[in-house]
Structure 1
């Protein structure tokens, strides 16, 4: 079907996309210079600019480095429009979960497509890519952007994924399918130009996930770790999901749920880590769905996991790994009159795109996991203007309890005069404003010279504690003592007596007293209202964070503001547990947090101090699982300096994840726009090498 240079194709509307460049001597779209499209230039009859969504399967973000010799059209779209260095897929970094997350703005645990294959115990049915069951609507949750709507068109290419699996992501043979995709993009742009739509249409080009080198020579076999491998069903590959083959047999079910006894730290060089799903890093959002098996294996990049030895091998690449690793990142670019011209934006997670697509189409987004407005900086004139949420509970004023109050069984060996410091200014310890509490509760602000706490009566511990660390050496630690706090009635306070009675749990300080600059100020830090219940094993991590990492980060960043506190998520849904929900799991005692959070904030420009920043902010967040052992690391017998920071980085998170798990709203007093703050909250440090 070669193109013919006859003008009747214009009348019939069936010209080839290169008709004008081939037959009329016009330049192709690729040959044209980048031009800024300040407003849509659409033919008569168009109500709004159409949206064309192009998704390319398995497009690893680093493929863009192959340059104009391989992908000139994609490179031009990227250069002339808006792009991110990469876009982070959801976990697992598989096709179906990610395409549906793009379409709904939901995490897999929310929309239900938790893998390319999955079993639903209520349906007693299995979903696979090759079965007709995938066409059954009962599997698909959420409300996707419908491709039947006018003004939205979607196309999906299975390349370069197929070649990536077959040849591996580093193969030069991958250039051929990349050229084919790029040629299709060029045909699209030439066709749009020929139809005078190239200044009218908005285009989004995304991948669903990246690609990693993998080979069956690098496979862990569960038969080397378990004696009952025939009693389990494993969904194998770049991640492992395990359920019992005999769910009605209590013994088999019980054995299947004991990964720590059989698979934790069994070999010196072990290339996967077993987790109960509720212990997976919170950033994965991969627990709150019945289709997610109880046991999950996070597999090291480049490796696979299977039950037993596999004779045949026919792949050199795979995906599905932890979504924060570099090789799993994929491409995002936006081009057209609604997107900014020649703009690079920070990386983001793909759940955020749903709200942008709805804005482009004039639709009201359905409820989703994205943060509406966090990607406004992609758009020339955003239609949605986010506003700061209203505070629900304001702090009460705290007063002194009458003399003779209960000492709570607490004492300090060091006898010094003690004065409480009430400071009127929060500028040092709350440089970005007081966290707002977005749920109904009673709490009070406890001011000290070196830190501030929002103290909860119902929890008998702080909701949050904030302090700012300057660039300076840390003083010596205090002796291990605790003082009662005369501002809080004993009924709403923890007691040292209870800690002495319970050998399984101890206390730890949210603000480290050793940071205080004088002896008197240190005694603010040993108040019982600065304590939280903590497992001794976890206290090793917390102590290392306080005595070593806080100092390190403050030195690197010209000071850092530290916000820390407890997290309660007993039902593993990624959202703060209500007081009623906590009582379902813990009754009659002070509740033990499921996690502890830390948010570190400094100035993006490290020449400015953290508490006097006039420019953009930089943040890092951690949501650390509070567990009675450190089995996750396999190195807990060694010094904390050899493993604690690595473990913390595994549990990196977005500030927005912290907000959802605590019911707090942060950064309420800054010099930055609220849209910029939302972008900061949804950014996640991956601690991975650059793309």
Structure 2
């Protein structure tokens, strides 16, 4: 038996030697025998204000900033989740990318309303997101949640995508990214997106300065650490681009504006309220509504669509309602009973409001170490990611590479 065992061991050793790549040594990282080109991972931490990095609870994000690139982003108006997530991946302000709010209508689809659960490509097809451009160029993509990625925009899905489920733990989302990257090169994605929502949720419920929000920030930071550790174990170099869609401002029931003190309830049809209110005048009441919104208000400005200030880059798209009122930061416009108490925090204010600023971090082989950038526009991230994944610049978009180009190593 011992002779047979020794013979079997010799056969197995010979087989193993025959199957071992030339130059391979025991404990060699996988990447040493299967060299992996860098992938690009675009990470959104919804509602993460740049100041959150100064609280001493983000060791992983702070390490990325120290060893890579840091800065802040000026979101597009309205400073809402869906418009700005689509701006990040289309390079177009909401007025041009078609996702003009979290809730809106289109005059071509009377009686229908876009909500954050809408997947009909009709609502998304006014712009081409990065994963569509990449797939058309033969670059495999995977999205672990991103607004629009579960819709066949321009007839194209990412090669891998997940239907959004807020209940899916964020750790599982990180693990899905790593699982996709464990694949053989032929089916391994080169551009991926990852979305975390709990910082935004805590900011809304408790406010940006609450201990519950601090815990959500620390949890998100730990997930970034897990992502980096798993990438290192896999031997997968990655260019990480971490951005948020907007910041967060504290609100209070003491700072509420009754919309119907400005304009008569019977003269309008409300579309949205909150940090801003948008609405239609009822037939025959247009002149009355125009006169009503022209009256000054100490904590709110109102405009007909064509008079919205040009700096907001908003109002040309017919999906924007004909009238808009915008509250001062921290104030809430109510045109209907609120679904939740007016407390905690929110966003949607003027994109020039510093409380609405979004975070920007980048780290990886394509980036310079220790680079601090001045504020850029969130649409500029699109131009940067196109460069990282090997797509040529796209003419005619709002996003520009120039503000973020100093971050690049080459």
TM-score scaled by length of structure 2:
0.75
Q: Distance in 2 between matches of 1:122 and 1:240?
A: 22
* 1:449-464 correspondence to structure 2 within 5 Å: none
Q: 1:53 aligns with which of 3, 28, 42?
A: 42
The equivalent position to 1:255 in structure 2, one of 262, 265, 288, is 288
Name 1:303's counterpart in structure 2: 331
Question: Which of 43, 65, 76 is 1:90 aligned to?
Answer: 76
| CA 156–253 in structure 1, closer or farther in 2 if over 3 Å, else same | same
Any idea what SS the aligned residue of 2:399 has? coil
Q: Is the 8 A contact 2:43 2:241 kept in 1?
A: yes
The answer to whether the aligner puts 1:210 opposite 2:247 as a matched pair is yes
Q: Could you say if the C-alpha distance between residues 221 and 43 of structure 1 is closer, same or farther in structure 2, counting changes exceeding 3 Å?
A: farther
CA contact (8 A) 1:210 1:329 kept: yes
Number of aligned residue pairs: 325
Q: Is the contact made by 1:221 and 1:308 (CA closer than 8 Å) also made in structure 2?
A: no
Which of 188, 202, 210 is the equivalent residue of 1:171?
210
Q: How does 1:559-638 map to 2 (within 5 A)?
A: none
Q: CA deviation at 1:62?
A: 1.1
Shift in Å, 1:229: 4.0
Shift of 1:215: 2.2
Structure 1 residue 266, shift from structure 2 partner = 4.6
Residue 159 (str. 1) matches residue 198 (str. 2): yes
Give 1:264 shift: 3.4
**Larger helix proportion of the pair:** 2
Report runs of 4+ in structure 1 exceeding 4 Å deviation. Answer: 41-47, 308-312
Query: Which among 61, 85, 89 is matched to residue 99 of structure 1?
Result: 85
Greater length-normalized contact order (CA 8 Å, ≥ 6 residues apart): 2
Corresponding residue of 2:129 = 144
Aligned-residue offset at 1:47? 6.7
Instruction: Rate the CA distance shift 1:322–1:243 in 2: closer, same or farther, 3 A.
Output: same
Distance in 1 between residues matched to 2:342 and 2:257, nearest whole Å: 17
Instruction: Tell me the equivalent position of 2:67.
Output: 80
Q: Give distance in 2, aligned partners of 1:123 and 1:366.
A: 30
Cα deviation per residue 1:603-650 (whole Å; 9 max; x = unaligned)?
A: xxxxxxxxxxxxxxxxxxxxxxxxxxxxxxxxxxxxxxxxxxxxxxxx
Match of 1:243 in 2: 280
Instruction: Tell me what 1:664 maps to.
Output: none
1:166–1:314 CA contact under 8 A, matched in 2: no
Secondary structure of 1:357's counterpart equals: helix
Whole-angstrom CA distance in 2 between matches of 1:202 and 1:311: 40
Separation in structure 1 between the aligned mates of residue 250 and residue 315 of structure 2, nearest angstrom? 27
Look at both structures and tell me which one has the larger radius of gyration over its CA atoms: 1
- Residue 365 of structure 2 corresponds to which residue in structure 1? 337
- Is the partner of 1:192 in helix, strand or coil? helix
Contact 2:269-2:280 within 8 A present in 1 as well: yes
Q: Which residue of 2 aligns with 1:129?
A: 116
Separation in structure 1 between the aligned mates of residue 268 and residue 295 of structure 2, nearest angstrom: 22
| Distance in 2 of aligned mates of 1:338 and 1:311 | 45
Equivalent position of 1:65 in the other structure: 54
Structure 1 segment 310-325 matched on structure 2, within 5 A: 310=338, 313=341, 315-325=343-353
Secondary structure of the structure 2 residue equivalent to 1:92:
coil
Distance 2:364 2:337 in 1: 51
In structure 2, distance between residues paired with 1:272 and 1:323: 15
Aligned-pair CA distance for 1:299: 0.9
Q: Which string of whole-angstrom CA distances, capped at 9 and with x for unpartnered residues, describes residues 337-383 of structure 1?
A: 101111111110011111111111111244421124442211011xx
1:312 Cα deviation after fit: 5.6
Q: Partner residue of 2:258?
A: 221
Q: For each residue in 1:151-200, what CA deviation from the matched residue of structure 2 results, as whole angstroms up to 9, or x when unmatched? A: 11111011200000010011122111111111111111111222223xx2
C-alpha contact (below 8 Å) 2:103/2:271 kept by paired residues: no
Question: Counterpart of 2:231?
Answer: 192
Contact 2:376 2:403 in 1 (8 A): no
Q: Is the 8 A contact 2:251 2:342 kept in 1?
A: no
Aligned to 2:172: none
**1:214·1:302 contact (CA, 8 Å) conserved in 2?**
yes
Q: 1:370 aligns with which of 394, 399, 402?
A: 399
Structure 1 partner of 2:378: 350
Aligned to 1:127, what secondary structure does the other structure show? Answer: coil
Per-residue CA deviations over 1:68-87 (Å, capped at 9, x if unaligned) read xx111011011110111x11
- The 3-state SS of whatever aligns with 1:327 is helix
> Cα distance, 1:105 vs. partner?
0.5
Give the C-alpha shift of residue 283 in structure 1.
1.8
- Cα distance, 1:206–1:280 mapped onto 2, change above 3 Å: same
Matched, 1:264 2:294: yes
- What secondary structure sits across from 2:285 in the alignment? helix
Alignment deviations for residues 117-160 of structure 1 (CA, whole Å, 9 cap, x no partner)? 00101122210124xxx101111121111133631111101120
Displacement, 1:300? Answer: 0.4
Q: Is the 8 A contact 2:250 2:343 kept in 1?
A: no
Name which of 300, 307, 317 aligns with 1:289. 317
Gaps in structure 2 of 5+ consecutive residues: 1-26, 132-140, 142-157, 160-188
Question: What 5-or-longer segments of structure 1 have no aligned partner?
Answer: 1-23, 25-40, 382-691
Contact 1:94 1:209 in 2 (8 A): yes
Aligned partner of residue 351 in structure 2, secondary structure:
coil
Q: Distance in 1 between matches of 2:326 and 2:42?
A: 32
CA distance in 1, matches of 2:32, 2:275: 48
* Contact kept? 1:91, 1:284, Cα under 8 Å: yes
What's the CA shift for 1:298?
1.6
Once the 2 structures are TM-superposed, how far is the Cα of residue 44 of structure 1 from its aligned partner?
Answer: 5.4
Per the alignment, do residues 362 and 219 of structure 1 end up closer, same or farther by CA in structure 2, a change over 3 Å counting?
same
Q: TM-score, normalised by structure 1?
A: 0.45
CA distance in 2, matches of 1:42, 1:226: 65
